[in-house]
């Protein structure tokens, strides 16, 4: 079973700059989450707070997708073919939030 | 890191196997498009949450009031999820969910480190970081199990609901939450909680299983023989996606 052990495997040393970058992104993600907590307990709820939460979430999502999932460094066509379909989701969010408040106003009177 | 394992030696042309569309291997590309389809599933659930949430009026609340759930108003999530294991009865809003979020982000970091070690063909380091990722995933799932159990048990406060029994409206008390009763607010709040966190938890579970299979392959030396660690990268994409989804679930379900 073990006849084809590859003997010419070269283990490369870790690049400290790369490792540092990974931990830096991790730090940013943790920091944004901490800020979200502070906002949750200090800012009163409403549209401005919700927008702030959504912006911070998108910021986090950008870091996860671009750095952790490495998408920022992929081919441009791949970035676009994944990014463009998401536009339809944004449209659906706006459409159905509108529908939700329309149903709400129907029940209110 | 571009590996050439998916190319057919000697093949030429775009469709003959002599090219890599978008400069990514077949496996990575398919993982990306699977994740795109999964994005649509999760978006559908979260958008349904948004729509149903705005079909109910917000709970009228000032910081000094105590929270008395009603079936007519959408509850305040931070006042529903305020329990932490071993600290029974202590009011700690969102603290446990916050810990869960940090655990998942941290397991995403260890996954990146495993992928990075794979690029360097460093088997020992891949083993170490993948094991930490699996530990993080299992911890997260355990936390979620506790949260579900607590949500189902309820706080013991209960809520009065009106029920139609034999053509008469009677008042009844509900304790805890399931798919038929919910002491925290409108029934659909509990249903969405079970569906959304359950769907995410299923993804975490399958992620742990996939991670474990790849970890096993690393240990027995499959990728050293293959000459590259691209499978670690592919399973890493899936794991980061699970983290990504949680970031949105955390915001839309617990914060807003």
pLDDT band at A3 (very low <50, low <70, confident <90, very high): very low
Span B222-237, mean pLDDT?
94
Which residues 132-191 on chain B approach chain A with CB closer than 8 angstroms?
none
The pLDDT score that the predictor gives to residue B89 is: 76
Assess whether pLDDT exceeds 50 at residue B230: yes
Measured CA to CA in angstroms, residue B136 lies from B38, B86, B212, B244 at distances of 22, 20, 12, 15
Q: Do B51 and A99 touch (CB under 8 A)?
A: yes
pLDDT in tens, B81-115: 888 888 877 888 888 999 999 999 999 999 999 99
Which tens digits make up the pLDDT trace of B141-192? Answer: 999 999 999 999 987 778 888 888 888 888 888 898 999 889 998 999 999 9
B 223-252 residues with CB < 8 A to A: 224-225, 227, 236-237, 240-241, 243-244, 247-248, 250-251
Q: Is the pLDDT of residue A108 over 90?
A: no
Q: Please compute, for residue A89, the number of CA atoms within 13 A of its CA located in the half-sphere on the CB side.
A: 19
- What percent of chain B shows pLDDT beyond 90? 56
Judged against a pLDDT cut of 80, whether residue B19 lies above it is answered with: no
pLDDT tens for B25-47 read: 888 999 999 999 999 999 999 99
User: Chain B within 8 Å of A85 (Cβ-Cβ)?
Assistant: yes
Please tell me the least confidently modeled range out of A6-20, A23-37, A69-83, B120-134.
Answer: A6-20
- Work out the average pLDDT over B2-30: 70
pLDDT digits (tens, 9 = 90+) for A19-73: 999 999 999 999 999 999 899 888 887 788 888 999 999 999 999 999 999 999 8
What average pLDDT does this structure show over A91-97? 85
B171 DSSP β-pair partners: B162
Interface test with B, best of A22, A52, A64, A103 (most B CBs within 10 A): A64
Structure tokens at B161: 């609901």
End-to-end CA distance of chain B: 39
From A53, A15, A107, select the one nearest B253 (Cα to Cα): A53
- Cα gap B128→A66, rounded to integer Å: 24
Please tell me the distance from the alpha carbon of residue B214 to that of residue B142, in angstroms, as a whole number: 22
Instruction: Name the β-bridge partners of B172.
Output: B161
Question: What is the distance between the alpha carbons of residues A24 and A30, in angstroms, rounded to a whole number?
Answer: 10
Name the residue among B112, B119, B227 with its Cβ closest to that of A68: B112
Please spell the DSSP secondary structure of A20-56, one letter per residue. Answer: HHHHHHHHHHHHHHHHHHHHHHHSPSSHHHHHHHHHH
Structure tokens at B188: 């659909």
Q: How far apart are CA B69 and CA B71, in angstroms?
A: 7
Confidence at residue B6, expressed as pLDDT on a 0 to 100 scale: 54
Residue B126 to chain A, least CA–CA distance (Å): 12
In contact, A32 and A59? CB cutoff 8 Å: yes
User: B89 phi and psi, to 5 degrees?
Assistant: 85, -10
Using the structure block, give the residue that is written with the tokens 């955390």: B250
A14 Cβ contact partners less than 8 Å away, ≥ 6 residues apart: B116, B117, B120, B122, B125
Does B65 contact chain A (CB < 8 Å)?
no
Residue A7 in contact with partner chain B when CB distance is under 8 A: no
ipTM of the complex: 0.86
């Amino acid at each position: 079973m073990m006849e084809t052990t590859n003997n010419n495997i070269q283990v490369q040393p870790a690049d400290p700059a790369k490792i540092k970058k990974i931990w830096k992104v991790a730090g940013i993600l943790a920091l944004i989450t901490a800020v979200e907590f502070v906002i949750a307990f200090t800012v009163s709820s409403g549209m401005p707070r919700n927008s702030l939460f959504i912006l911070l979430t998108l910021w986090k999502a950008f870091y996860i997708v671009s750095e952790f999932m490495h998408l920022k460094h992929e081919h441009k066509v791949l970035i676009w073919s994944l990014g463009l379909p998401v536009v339809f989701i944004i449209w659906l969010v706006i459409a159905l939030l509108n529908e939700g408040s329309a149903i709400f106003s129907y029940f209110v009177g | 890191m571009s590996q050439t394992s998916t190319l057919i030696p000697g093949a030429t042309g775009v469709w003959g196997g002599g090219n890599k569309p978008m400069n990514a291997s077949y496996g990575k590309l398919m993982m990306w498009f699977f994740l795109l389809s999964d994005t649509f599933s999760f978006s559908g659930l979260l958008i349904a949450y948004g729509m149903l949430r705005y079909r109910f009026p917000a709970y009228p609340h000032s910081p000094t009031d105590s929270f008395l759930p009603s079936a007519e108003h959408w509850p305040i999530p931070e006042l529903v999820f305020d329990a932490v294991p071993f600290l029974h009865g202590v009011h700690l809003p969102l603290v446990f969910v916050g810990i869960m979020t940090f655990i998942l982000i941290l397991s995403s970091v260890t996954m990146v480190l495993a992928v990075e070690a794979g690029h360097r063909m460093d088997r020992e380091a891949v083993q170490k970081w993948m094991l930490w990722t699996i530990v993080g995933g299992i911890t997260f799932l355990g936390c979620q199990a506790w949260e579900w159990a607590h949500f189902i048990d309820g706080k013991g406060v209960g809520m009065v609901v009106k029920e139609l029994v034999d053509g008469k409206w009677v008042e009844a008390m509900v304790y805890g939450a399931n798919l038929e009763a919910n002491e925290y607010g409108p029934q659909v709040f509990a249903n969405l909680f079970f569906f959304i966190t359950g769907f995410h938890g299923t993804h975490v579970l399958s992620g742990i299983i996939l991670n474990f299979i790849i970890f096993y392959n690393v240990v027995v030396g499959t990728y050293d023989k293959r000459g590259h660690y691209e499978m670690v990268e592919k399973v890493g994409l899936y794991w980061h996606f699970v983290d990504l989804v949680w970031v949105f679930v955390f915001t839309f379900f617990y914060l807003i």
